[in-house]
Structure 1
Amino acid sequence: MGLDDGDALAVLRDAVDPRLGSDALIAAFYARWFATDPSIRDLFPPDMTRQRAVFAQAMTWVLGELVARRAEEPIAFLAQLGRDHRKYGVTAGHYRTLGEALYTTLRRQLEDRWDDRLAGAARDALALCVGVMSGAADAEGGPPFRDGTVIEHLRVTRDVSLIRLQLDGPLAYHPGQYVTVQVPQWPRRWRYLSPSIPAEPGGGIEFHVRSVPGGMVSTAIVNETRPGDRWRLSNPHGGLAVDRAGGDVLMVAGSTGLAPLRALIMDMTRFGDNPRVHLFFGARFPCDLYDLKTLWQIASTNPWLSVTPVSEYATDPPWARDYPDVTPPRGLHVRQTGRLPEVVTRYGGWGDRQILICGSSAMTTATKAALTAKGAPPERIQHDPLTG
């Protein structure tokens, strides 16, 4: 029955589900894949912990959608993966050996339950995954990545840097999208970053990067990036956007989650008529509100934009004096004190707005929950995928 056998697909889904203890199966799969196709090992980082977790989550979701007979989103997701994986140097042969290694691993891990139904479901599901990814990669005509040179590194707070690059060629992206980035300090460890300016025909691009505790790549970017460093950027992802005909807008940005929202706002300044936009920009301390002066400059000439700064604490720590003063001229809303979800919902339910949330997974989840509890329709709330 193959893909029509929901029960067999559910067994496969449960086998790879990390919440049900799939660590050994996923580790065995990668060990088998690397042993049968040694050329693939150098495309991955030395530490495979995060890669195994991401793969398990993705396979669990894809198989779960197939169980529910929802194929449209998985196919779109797999096609995007195939296009994006070109930046790693993945070939059609690698996809073939991936499918073979995963099929063999599933058969051995489930040998006490393995029968023709499981075999057919596994064969067809893996053929779908491999076929869509490989086909989408082959159909993509543009380059798989762009390289660029760091031309400026500004340390704007203790843990936030602004990085400006000149790409070797222009990168086409929509404001609000994100890319994956590889830096020379950590080869083969790609991280998501959102451009903070609209795409430039000349290839200029800017990123806001926050050093995350325990984050090796973000910490290296903030502490070690130097002009002249060469970065590699993937093609863009994501669909965060403002419908200029869709009514007024609420934006909620936590720390460097400001970057994609600022790019959207800057793009909107090209038009004479825009919906009203109310941006809440939050951080831990007042000194962490690193881009208020830019926001003031935009708001001062665009009356449709209102900006409310928010900090969890009312005063700055002693180390704030070592970094640039972020206090803007008079004109923005008075800074509020508190956590973003509570401050935003003190202003109302925002149910009549387009709502865009950007920041950490914890902030995004808490803000979305607070807004929906106040009556905001979940379908009106946009955010990028939550990654942890």
Structure 2
Amino acid sequence: MISRLRASFSSIALTERGPTRLTTLFFSSLFAEHPDFRVLFPPALDKLGPRVFQALKFVIDNLDDEERVMGFLAQLGRDHRKYGVDERHYSAAAGSLLEAVQGSFTQAIWTPSLTTAWTEFIDLMLDTMATAAAEDDLPATWGATVVDHERRLDDLAIVRLETDSPIPYGAGQYLSVQVPQRPRMWRYLSAAIPSNPAGQIEFHVRRVSGGWVSPAMVNETQVGDRWLLGSPLGGLQVDRDSGRDVLMIGSGTGIAPLRAQVMEMAMRAHNPRVHLFVGGKYPCDLYDIETLWQISLSNPWLTVVPVSEEDENPWWHTAPVPEPPPGLHRRLLGKPGRVVAEFGSWADRQIQVSGSPSMIKTTVYALQRGGTPLNLIRHDPLI
């Protein structure tokens, strides 16, 4: 069954408009049969469609790893409670998704065996999500108040909040976030600090040109604003029992989940060695490098390596480039993936990559070319 699913899904994924066609057919079928469902979704579906496709891709790519897939689907089910989704919605989605997949093929290619394989797969996927949602006794959402909004760069802000009650997320996880300026438009953000009993949480947000939500987070957020946070998702974590040291590669605000993990590790007496490569286009994009240097100075297991594509800042950024404290690694030049791969194979490490989708793709490719097995590399599918 797995080989049939992967082969058929690849034929959609590799077609120029295949992913867009699949998600468009899915939403069209769902809303045609159940027009009342439309209010559960944001006005614009341009961000949601790619996430639906990426979630499907992640599950199909990892079907051999049952624990990882089931954990991801359970998290996704718990997260969907924020929409008010119930059993009726899952049942409707199953039919619409099968219709969308079938509609992405020509009639000559689609076969009864594919119908069986996809029906069983969709039922398993949605049943797992529905069961996890039904069994979860945590809140569907948490309210939080903005207590600080720091504009670190013109297009980047650090937002600190206090939640009404502590959120039990793991360092390295991300949460869906809704801001008052953009109701019903949820976005995923990684927590940049570990969870704590006081309910304090920090997000690093970069403004996306043409985006709906990130400009509001960066430009319009005010102290006192009320945000809504969904259930924790993601599986980035350090396996302390594996006996392997750790390689972390982060770019831009992608350092947030890696930062949270090394902060949590700094609270423990014994840790594996961690090499943390922090990348950006310009030196100023390494906006939190001094915090990471300070952690490294008091934790000899942590090595921080700054990386930038350009040696100097753009002319409009006039602040001086920070210099590393004595004994710490100086900044290297190049794209993060290429720089890391120049050190050779990292086949003896547990590896995490975090950043934009394009950065993750090119970094994973560079690591593979350098001899690092793909199964050792972890990155989150939706963030």
Q: CA deviation at 1:219?
A: 2.2
Write the deviation string for residues 265-294 of structure 1: whole angstroms up to 9, x where unpaired: 111111222222222111111122111221
Alignment check: 8 A CA contact 1:18 1:53 kept = no
1:19 partnered with 2:29: no
Map of 1:181 onto structure 2: 177
The verdict on how the C-alpha distance between 1:326 and 1:148 changes in structure 2, with shifts beyond 3 A counting, is farther
Alignment check: 8 A CA contact 1:282 1:311 kept = yes
Map of 1:132 onto structure 2: 128
Name which of structure 1's ranges 323-332 and 258-267 shifts more when overlaid on structure 2: 323-332
Map of 2:219 onto structure 1: 223
Q: TM-score, normalised to structure 1's length? A: 0.84
Write the deviation string for residues 127-181 of structure 1: whole angstroms up to 9, x where unpaired: 4444333222211111112110111011112222111000011001111111111
Gapped regions of structure 1 (runs ≥ 5): none
Map of 2:244 onto structure 1: 247
Write the deviation string for residues 329-387 of structure 1: whole angstroms up to 9, x where unpaired: 54532122222223223334333332222112222222222222222233322222266
Structure 1: distance between partners of 2:374 and 2:3: 29
Structure 2: distance between partners of 1:156 and 1:364: 24
Aligned counterpart in structure 2 of residue 37 of structure 1, from 29, 34, 37: 34
Write the deviation string for residues 173-197 of structure 1: whole angstroms up to 9, x where unpaired: 1111111111222222222211111
Q: How does 1:1-388 map to 2 (within 5 A)?
A: 19=15, 26-56=23-53, 58-59=55-56, 75-102=70-97, 124=120, 126-245=122-241, 246-321=243-318, 326-327=322-323, 329-385=325-381
Q: CA deviation at 1:207?
A: 0.9
The secondary structure found in structure 1 opposite 2:205 is strand
Gapped regions of structure 2 (runs ≥ 5): none
Q: TM-score, normalised to structure 2's length? A: 0.85
The secondary structure found in structure 1 opposite 2:15 is helix
Report the structure, 1 or 2, having the larger helix content: 1
Q: CA deviation at 1:301?
A: 1.4
Structure 2: distance between partners of 1:106 and 1:354: 35
Structure 1: distance between partners of 2:58 and 2:335: 32
Structure 1: distance between partners of 2:106 and 2:291: 61
Name which of structure 1's ranges 242-251 and 133-142 shifts more when overlaid on structure 2: 242-251
The verdict on how the C-alpha distance between 1:28 and 1:262 changes in structure 2, with shifts beyond 3 A counting, is closer
Name which of structure 1's ranges 31-40 and 351-360 shifts more when overlaid on structure 2: 31-40
- Aligned pairs, how many? 380
Name which of structure 1's ranges 375-384 and 303-312 shifts more when overlaid on structure 2: 375-384
Structure 1: distance between partners of 2:90 and 2:187: 23
Q: CA deviation at 1:65?
A: 7.9
What amino acid sits opposite 2:84 in the alignment? G
Alignment check: 8 A CA contact 1:353 1:380 kept = yes
